[in-house]
């Protein structure tokens, strides 16, 4: 297979590869990394010289592969920060809403369409609360009844 890319398209492909590989492997311990994805990323990085993108890619003499350098990370990590922030609030509101629905109906109840509607309504309430107040109104109750402050 042969794919033709402009220099600009290649740079965008580098960004996609970096972001995708970071999401797949960024929080995974080194020994558990998804090597197949890492190998594809390294292969795509190896074409940097042909596309005048060496300012984003460097060769590691010790490991024998090309990888994203600090300049690429500085350019793209803000996108990952935005992504992480969005995912945090979405997952938090979803989990809290799910907990609330399950408490109200009981843990043994099979999940129904009605429960799904309750879940989404409750999630929306959490979304609105977090948009207005962040975590300011969140309090944890620890075992023994002591509230976290």
pLDDT per residue as tens digits for the range 121-141? 999 999 999 999 999 999 988
Tell whether 140 and 96 lie within a shared domain: yes
Last residue of a domain, one of 24, 40, 68: 68
Note whether 54 and 110 are same-domain residues: no
**Domain final residue pick, 68, 93, 115:** 68
Give a yes or no: residue 93 inside a domain.
Answer: yes
Please check whether residues 28 and 85 belong to one and the same domain. Answer: no
Residue 110 shares a structural domain with residue 139: yes
Pairing between strand 146-147 and 141-142?
Answer: antiparallel
Could you give the number of structural domains in the chain? 2
User: What pLDDT score was predicted for residue 6?
Assistant: 97
Q: Give the per-residue pLDDT at 118.
A: 94
60 DSSP β-pair partners? 65
Asked if 100 and 86 touch (Cβ cutoff 8 Å), the reply is no
Residues 56 and 108 placed together within one structural domain of the fold? no
Q: Reply yes or no on whether the pLDDT at 148 is more than 80.
A: no
Average pLDDT taken over every residue of the chain? 92
Same domain? For 55 and 34 the reply is yes
- pLDDT for residue 146: 60
Range of the domain at 21: 7-68
CA distance 114 to 42: 47
**What is the DSSP annotation of 102-143?**
HHHH-TTSPP-HHHHHHHHHHHHHHHHHHHHHTTTT---EET
Domain assignment present for residue 105? The answer is yes
Span 1-55, pLDDT tens digits: 899 999 999 999 999 999 999 999 888 888 888 889 989 999 999 999 999 999 9
| pLDDT of amino acid 145 | 65
Residues 48 and 91 in one domain: no
- What is the rounded distance in angstroms from the CA atom of residue 116 to the CA atom of residue 102? 11
Which pLDDT score is estimated for 27? 82
């Amino acid at each position: 297979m042969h794919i033709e890319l402009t220099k600009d398209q290649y740079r965008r492909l580098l960004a996609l590869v970096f972001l995708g590989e970071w999401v797949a492997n960024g929080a995974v311990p080194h020994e558990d990394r998804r090597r197949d994805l890492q190998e594809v990323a390294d292969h795509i990085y190896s074409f940097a010289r042909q596309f005048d993108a060496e300012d984003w890619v460097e060769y590691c003499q010790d490991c024998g592969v090309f990888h994203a350098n600090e300049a690429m990370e500085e350019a793209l990590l803000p996108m990952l920060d935005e992504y992480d922030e969005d995912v945090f609030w979405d997952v938090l509101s979803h989990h809290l809403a799910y907990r609330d629905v399950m408490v109200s109906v009981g843990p043994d109840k099979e999940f129904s369409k009605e429960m799904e509607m309750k879940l989404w309504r409750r999630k929306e309430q959490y979304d609105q609360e977090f948009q207005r107040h962040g975590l300011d109104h969140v309090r944890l109750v620890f075992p023994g009844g002591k509230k976290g402050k």
